[in-house]
Amino acid sequence: MESAFASLPSRRNIAVSRLRIALTYLWRHGHLPDVDNPQTFTEHVQHRKLFDRDLRMAGLSDKVAVKQIVAECIGADWLIPTLWQGEILPETPVWPSPFVVKARHGCNQIAFVWDDKPNWEAIRRKANRWMAGRYGFWLDEWMYSRIPRGVMVEPFVGDGRTLPVDYKFYVFGGRVQFIQVHLGRGGQHRWILLDRNWKRVSSLTNDADPSPPMTLPRMIEAAEALAVGFDFVRVDLYEIAGRPLFGEMTFYPGSGLDRFDPVSLDIIIGRHWSEAKAARQI
C-alpha cells in the first residue's frame, strides 16, 4: 500500500530550507522562529513547512481535486461549479461573464472577467506565468510541488463586482476555534478575528462587528467535517444569498509570515495547535 506521507528531503535541503525560513521569519516578525519546539501559530506553520509531508494536504489544496472530496464529505451543493480546467486557456473565452480564472496549484493567482470584452490576451499571459512558475518554492511550501499545475474557470459568486465576504475557519484537532472574516476584498481589504461564539478577538479595523452568516452553524459543522485528521487546517467558506459555499483549504496561512495584532494572539492561537498535536499523540 502506498504511504500517505512523502519522504523528507535530504539533510542538505532541510538545512537550506531552515536557513531560508529563519531569514524570512526574522524579516517579518523581528525575531528567529523556534521551528524545533514551536509555540506560536506562526512557528507551527514553519515547522509544518519543514517537516510535515502528509500527501493528503496536497489533494485538499488542489482546487480541482478537492471538489470531489468536498462533495463526498459534505455534499455537492457546497461546491462552486468548475466551468473549465486545463493547462492552456483557449484563445477566446467561451463562458458567460462574470467569471473567475485561477490557478489550481497556488494561492492569490486569480483574474476576474466582468464583461464580454476582457483583455483576454493579458489574462492568458498571466495564466501562462502561473503555469511556468514553481509556486511555493521560495517560501518552502512543499505541498504545492505535489499539486498538478493547471488553470481553472469558475463563475463569479459575488454581488455585481463586489467580492463576497470570506469566512476563514481555523480548525484545530477537528474543532473550529476562530473565524477570520475578510471584508472589502479587492478594495479596502481588512479582517476581523472572532471566536466560534462570534465574539471579537482581534481586528485591524474599526468596523463594527459583522453580523454572523445565517448558516454559521452549518458552516462550522462543515469546516470540522473537512478538517478531521489534522492538527490544524483553515477552511474558507462563503455565504451567497443564504447558501453556504466551499472556497478552499489552506495549510500554510500567510506562510506563517503575517503578524497578529496583538502579537500575544500568536501565542494563544499557537497553543490550540500544540494541544491538538499533543492530543493526537496520546
Average pLDDT, the chain: 93
Same structural domain for residues 46 and 116? no
Which residues on adjacent β-strands are paired with residue 250?
234
Same structural domain for residues 61 and 111? no
pLDDT tens string 100-145: 999 999 999 999 999 988 999 999 999 999 999 899 999 999 999 9
Same structural domain for residues 266 and 178? yes
The whole-number pLDDT of residue 203 equals: 66
- State how far the Cα of 252 lies from the Cα of 154, in Å rounded to an integer: 24
User: What confidence tier does 69 reach under pLDDT thresholds 50, 70, 90?
Assistant: very high
The whole-number pLDDT of residue 204 equals: 67
Which range, 21-35, 183-197, 203-217, is most confident?
21-35
* Assigned domain for 270 exists: yes
- State how far the Cα of 151 lies from the Cα of 102, in Å rounded to an integer: 6
**Whole domain around residue 105: which residue ranges?**
84-131+146-155
Residues 6+ apart with CB under 8 A from 180: 167, 168, 170, 191, 192, 193, 194, 234
Total number of domains in the chain? 2
Same structural domain for residues 108 and 199? no
Same structural domain for residues 41 and 97? no
pLDDT tens string 197-208: 999 998 667 778
Nine cell digits for residue 53: 509531508
The whole-number pLDDT of residue 205 equals: 72
Same structural domain for residues 51 and 165? yes
- State how far the Cα of 270 lies from the Cα of 45, in Å rounded to an integer: 9
* Assigned domain for 204 exists: yes
* Assigned domain for 137 exists: no
* Assigned domain for 6 exists: no
* Assigned domain for 141 exists: no
Q: Is 256 helix (H, G, I), strand (E, B) or coil?
A: helix
Number of residues assigned to the chain: 282
Query: Amino acid identity of 271?
Result: R
Mind giving me the DSSP string for 23-50?
Answer: HHHHHHHSS---SSS--SHHHHHHHHHH
Same structural domain for residues 222 and 194? yes
Q: Is the peptide bond before 262 cis (omega within 30 degrees of 0)?
A: yes
Residues 6+ apart with CB under 8 A from 85: 64, 104, 150, 151, 152, 153
The whole-number pLDDT of residue 3 equals: 66
Interstrand relation of 166-172 and 190-195 (parallel, antiparallel or unpaired) = unpaired
Same structural domain for residues 263 and 125? no
* Assigned domain for 73 exists: yes
* Assigned domain for 140 exists: no
Between helix 41-51 and helix 264-280 the angle, nearest 10°, is 50
pLDDT at 4 over 90: no
User: What confidence tier does 1 reach under pLDDT thresholds 50, 70, 90?
Assistant: very low
pLDDT at 182 over 90: no
Same structural domain for residues 96 and 214? no
Same structural domain for residues 72 and 22? yes
Which residue in 100, 94, 90 sits closest to 155, CA to CA? 100
CATH number at residue 185: 3.30.470.20
Same structural domain for residues 90 and 124? yes
* Assigned domain for 49 exists: yes
Same structural domain for residues 203 and 245? yes
User: What confidence tier does 50 reach under pLDDT thresholds 50, 70, 90?
Assistant: very high
% of the chain residues with pLDDT over 90 = 81
Average pLDDT score over residue span 47-73 = 97
Cα 112 off chain centre by? 19
